[in-house]
Amino acid sequence: MEENTKGVADKVRTPKILVTGACGQLGSELTEQLNKIYGVENVVISDLKEPVKKTTNHFEALDVTDTNRLYEIIESLEITQIYHLAAILSAKGEENPHIAWRINMDGLLNVLEAGRRWKLDKIYWPSSIAVFGVNSPKNPTPQNTVIEPSTAYGISKHAGELWCQYYHDQFGLDVRSLRYPGLIGYQGLPGGGTTDYAVDIFHKAVQGEKFTCFLSKDTVLPMMYMPDAIKATLDLMEADKEKLSVHTSYNIQAISFSPEEIFNEIKKSYPSFTTEYAPDFRQKIADSWPEVIDDAQARNDWNWEPNYDLKSMVADMLKNLKEIKDLALVQNH
């Protein structure tokens, strides 16, 4: 370990942001908002592979477990903030738990250590409701409670939260984090989580296909519409540092529903839509997670408040997916 960086993050400089895992479900939408705030020239995107969507952001191929490559990018592009999104999610993580642990843990430790060495101004890193386990209270799940995750993903997020707090306490690194619930958006497909059904169901409805749900109809989980997730992220990153009392990761809550409840809401617009339930290995993961999150600390410290409920989220998702479908039909003719 080299010099201590305590206090250095207080200096103000023009942000030059690096987003890791930027081509994923969250990264592709968050980048658009960061571009609007900081300018596309100040937002560098990175991922394992080139983005599929056309982008004007500077792109760097980066495997976050490659320490030297990360350091090279930070130094050569004079990065001052990192949004570290690259990860293997819960369901995919169970296919190879050791790989999930390595990518999630080594990636985060590389970013935190880079933050200390390069005296970065701020780091954002998402945690998840997956830190909670069967012994955590389910409704509501408090900010501070029993944390015994059952997936490799959840274990990596729990350990990651403690490392974030460690770098904050030991080195004064300004690292901020949210425990996202399942994220729902229309722009990209999710990357292998237990909450993915709540995105897939919309695509099937709009395509006029039958939906097979991998969770049982009454499995209630906390979810959030992407615009609220992005608002929460940016609000937290803009919040006055002195007001932040949680240095592991903040609980945030928006909407809790079961597959049957979201199906019934979609059916109001697509009356012939049908769903069947065929729970698989993801049911056990979902059964270990909370139903409703107590986010009083986030509301108190930085005024967190979501905008979307189930009804308004479903309406907006269906409207946007229908527009995308109609546009594709026009372009194919």
Which amino acids are annotated catalytic? 153
Residue 242, phi then psi, degrees to nearest 5: -65, -20
Q: Report which of 59, 77, 79 is spatially closest to residue 16, judged by C-alpha positions.
A: 79
Enumerate residues 85-114 that contact ligand SER by CB under 6 A: 89-90
Q: Report which of 160, 92, 164, 89 is spatially closest to residue 123, judged by C-alpha positions.
A: 164
The answer to the question of residue 63 lying near ligand NAD (CB under 6 A) is: yes
User: CA 321 → CA 93, 153, 269, distances in Å?
Assistant: 28, 30, 13
SS3 8: helix
Angle among Cα 90, 158, 290 to the nearest 5 degrees reads 60
- Closer to ligand SER by Cβ: residue 46 or 128: 128
Report the nearest approach of ligand NAD to the CB of residue 46 (Å): 7
Residue showing tokens 């408040």: 305
Enumerate residues 312-331 that contact ligand SER by CB under 6 A: none
Helices (H) and strands (E) in the chain, counts: 11, 14
SS3 178: strand
Enumerate residues 131-190 that contact ligand NAD by CB under 6 A: 180, 182-183, 190
- Residue 26: name its binding partner from ligand SER, ligand NAD, none (Cβ under 5 to 8 Å by kind): ligand NAD
Using CB under 6 A, pick the residue from 177, 194, 249, 297 that binds ligand SER.
Answer: 194
Report the nearest approach of ligand SER to the CB of residue 5 (Å): 30
Alpha-carbon distance of 219 to 13, in angstroms, equals: 46
Report the nearest approach of ligand NAD to the CB of residue 246 (Å): 16
Report the nearest approach of ligand NAD to the CB of residue 13 (Å): 26
Enumerate residues 61-90 that contact ligand SER by CB under 6 A: 89-90
The answer to the question of residue 219 lying near ligand SER (CB under 6 A) is: no
Report the nearest approach of ligand SER to the CB of residue 11 (Å): 34
Q: Which position's Cβ is nearest ligand SER?
A: 193
Residue 10, phi then psi, degrees to nearest 5: -70, -25
The answer to the question of residue 195 lying near ligand SER (CB under 6 A) is: yes
Per DSSP bridges, beta strands 127-128 and 122-124 are unpaired
CB 224 within 8 A of CB 192: no
Alpha-carbon distance of 219 to 208, in angstroms, equals: 24
Residue 205 has which token pair?
Answer: 């409805």
Alpha-carbon distance of 39 to 309, in angstroms, equals: 31
Using CB under 6 A, pick the residue from 130, 184, 237, 266 that binds ligand SER.
Answer: 130
Report the nearest approach of ligand NAD to the CB of residue 190 (Å): 5
- Residue 27: name its binding partner from ligand SER, ligand NAD, none (Cβ under 5 to 8 Å by kind): ligand NAD
Enumerate residues 17-56 that contact ligand NAD by CB under 6 A: 20-21, 23-27, 47-48
- Residue 15: name its binding partner from ligand NAD, ligand SER, none (Cβ under 5 to 8 Å by kind): none
User: CA 27 → CA 114, 138, 258, 296, 306, distances in Å?
Assistant: 20, 29, 26, 27, 20
- Closer to ligand SER by Cβ: residue 184 or 205: 184
- Contact residues toward ligand NAD (CB under 6 A) are 20-21, 23-27, 47-48, 62-65, 85-87, 89, 103, 126, 128, 180, 182-183, 190-193, 195
